[in-house]
Amino acid sequence: EPEVTQTPSHQVTQMGQEVILRCVPISNHLYFYWYRQILGQKVEFLVSFYNNEISEKSEIFDDQFSVERPDGSNFTLKIRSTKLEDSAMYFCASSEGLAGSAGDTQYFGPGTRLTVL
């Protein structure tokens, strides 16, 4: 069964450094997402991406964050100048269509645990 993959599984970085989290969505999917889950808290939507541009973003997704689909398979989340509070599990997801109107399922990757020291 096709699945979303993410690398690395765990990333440790120093405060102020830049990190890039990588995701390979399911190949025929058109919509891509990033969510994060701070330990013990809710899974929170960060951003959605369609047709090579951001379609929606949350208030968490400020100028520190950016997303890119550099080629036909990868989808990346870049976090510039990381802060301690960026420590979280970051989940990538993809779907064929939109969840709300088409009911298309978002399939999630296993997550990247980011630890900022």
Partner 1 sequence: GEDVEQSLFLSVREGDSSVINCTYTDSSSTYLYWYKQEPGAGLQLLTYIFSNMDMKQDQRLTVLLNKKDKHLSLRIADTQTGDSAIYFCAESFVNRDDKIIFGKGTRLHILP
Chain residues in the site for partner 1 (CB under 8 A):
4, 6, 31, 33, 35, 41-45, 48, 50, 55-56, 58, 91, 93, 98-101, 103, 105-111
Largest Cα separation within the chain, whole Å, is: 41
Q: Residue written as tokens 């440790």?
A: 12
- Residue 109, both tokens: 């990757």
Q: Which is nearer to partner 1, 35 or 75 (CB)?
A: 35
Q: How far is the CB of 76 from partner 1 (least distance, A)?
A: 17
CA nearest neighbour of 94 among 36, 26, 44: 26
Q: Which is nearer to partner 1, 15 or 54 (CB)?
A: 54
Q: Cα(42)–Cα(54) distance, rounded to whole angstroms?
A: 22
Q: How far is the CB of 56 from partner 1 (least distance, A)?
A: 4
Q: Cα(49)–Cα(28) distance, rounded to whole angstroms?
A: 14
Q: How far is the CB of 5 from partner 1 (least distance, A)?
A: 10
